[in-house]
Amino acid sequence: MLITAAVVAIFVYGMMAAMLGTILPDLSSRFQLTPRQNGTIAFAQALGLMLASLGVGPLLDDFGKKAGLILGLACIGLALSLLPRSTGYRGIVFLLFLLGVGGGIVVTGANALTSDVGEAHRAIALNLVNLFFGLGGLATPFISANLFRRDWVRLCYTIAGLTLVTLVIQVAVHMPPPTGAGRFIFSHAGPVLGRPLLFLLGFFLFLYVGCEVGVWNWLVRHLIAQGVPESHALYILSLGFALGMLIGRVAVAPILIHVSAVRVTLWASVAMAVTTFLMLRVHRTAAAAALVFLAGLSMAPVFPTTLAITATAFPSMTGTALGIVITFGWAGLALSSRVIGSIAGADARRLRQALLVIPASAVIMIGLNLAIISALR
C-alpha cells in the first residue's frame, strides 16, 4: 500500500509537470501574454519547486510523509481549481508558483515514502515508481488533444479531481510515523549538511536534470534545424526519448539486483555522454530516432537511482537530505534552457553547438560519480 500511495502521487505529479507546456499556448492567447511573461510564469513554477523541495525535508522528517503528501496534493488541487478562474497575468504567476510548491512537496514526499521499503530494494522501487512520472507526463497532452479537444479549463478541473482522489488515498493508507532516527533535529543537521557527499549528489542531479530538460525543451527545434520535418521531430521526442525513459526504468530493475546503484549511475553517465553527443551529429531521421531512444534509455535510471543512493547514505534525516538533493535538480531545470538559449542566441544554426552543453555535462557527471564512489568508501 505504501508503494501504491507513492505511485498515484508520482503519477499526479507527472500530469502536473506536463500542464504548463500543454496549456501555455491557450493561456497566452486568452490573456495576450508575451514570450517574456511566459518565461516568468515558467520560472515561477520552477521557483516553487525549488523552495518547496528545500523546505519540505524537515516537515517530512518531523511529521511524516503523510503530512507532506497531503499538503502538497492540496496545493496542486487548489492551484488547478483556481487557474481557470484567474483574471490576468499576476494571478497566473501566483497559481503556477503554488502549483510548483505542491509539486515540489509531492515529488520529495513520494520518493521519501518509496525509500522506506528498505535498503535492499530501494533503488529498484524508486525506478519503478518514477516510471509513473513519465506515464503521467504522457497522459496530460494525450487527454488534452484527444478527449478535451485542447479545452484547458476541462483539463485543469479533471486533473484537480484526480488530485483530490489521490489525496483521499494518502489519508486512507497507513504510513509509518516518523521515527526518532529520522526526525529533523537541529543538533544533527551539522553532520548531515557538513558531508561533502550530499553536495556531490546534489551537483550530480543538477547536471542530470539540466541534460534531461535540455532534450525535452530543445530537441525538436534542433531536429527541425537539421531538416527533419516537425511532425517527425515531435514523433522522435515522444516515441523516442520518452519511450526510452519509460523502458529504461523497467529494464534497470533486474540490473540493480546484481549491480550497485552507484555503478549503475556511473555507466548511465558514460552512456549519456556518448549517445547525446552522437545524436547531435546525425542528420537522418532514422539514425536520430535510434540515438534519441538510446539517450532516453541511458538517462532513465539516473534520477531515481541517485535518490536511492542519497537515502541509503543518509539514514538520519533522510527527508532533509532528499529535499536538498532534489532542490539542486530543480535548479538545473530552471537554468538549463536559459544557458542553452543564451549560447544559441537568435541563430538557429548555433543551436547544435549550444546543445553540446548536454554531453559536456554528462562528462562532468562521470567525474562526479567517481568522486561519489570514493566518498561512499
Q: Sorting pLDDT into bands at 50, 70 and 90, what band is 63?
A: confident
Taking only the tens place, the pLDDT of each residue in 287-339 is 989 999 999 999 999 999 999 899 888 877 777 788 889 889 988 887 887 78
Q: For position 192, what pLDDT does the model report?
A: 61
Residues 166 and 8 sit within 8 Å (Cβ to Cβ) = yes
Residues 105 and 57 sit within 8 Å (Cβ to Cβ) = no
Q: Sorting pLDDT into bands at 50, 70 and 90, what band is 184?
A: very low
Tell me the three cell numbers of residue 168: 483521499
Q: What is the pTM of this model?
A: 0.78
154: how many CB neighbours lie within 10 A of its CB?
15
Q: For position 360, what pLDDT does the model report?
A: 96
Q: For position 42, what pLDDT does the model report?
A: 78
Higher pLDDT among residues 171 and 147, named by residue: 171
Tell me the three cell numbers of residue 194: 557538513
| Averaged pLDDT of the chain | 84
- Which segments of the chain does DSSP mark as H helices, in order? 2-17, 19-31, 35-63, 65-82, 89-115, 122-146, 152-172, 186-193, 196-225, 230-236, 243-258, 261-279, 285-299, 302-313, 318-344, 351-354, 357-376
| DSSP 3-state of 355 | coil
pLDDT exceeds 70 at position 150: no
Q: For position 294, what pLDDT does the model report?
A: 96
| Least confident segment among 278-282, 307-311, 340-344 | 340-344
Q: Report, as an integer, the average pLDDT of 90-104.
A: 93
Q: What angle do CA 101, 5, 238 make, to 5 degrees?
A: 70
For each of the domains in the chain, give its residue range(s) and CATH number, in order of start.
1-175 (1.20.1250.20), 189-377 (1.20.1250.20)
283: how many CB neighbours lie within 10 A of its CB?
10
Q: Report, as an integer, the average pLDDT of 117-145.
A: 79
158: how many CB neighbours lie within 10 A of its CB?
18
Q: For position 118, what pLDDT does the model report?
A: 64
Residues 260 and 160 sit within 8 Å (Cβ to Cβ) = no
Q: For position 35, what pLDDT does the model report?
A: 65
Tell me the three cell numbers of residue 242: 520518452
Tell me the three cell numbers of residue 307: 535518490
Q: Report, as an integer, the average pLDDT of 12-40.
A: 79
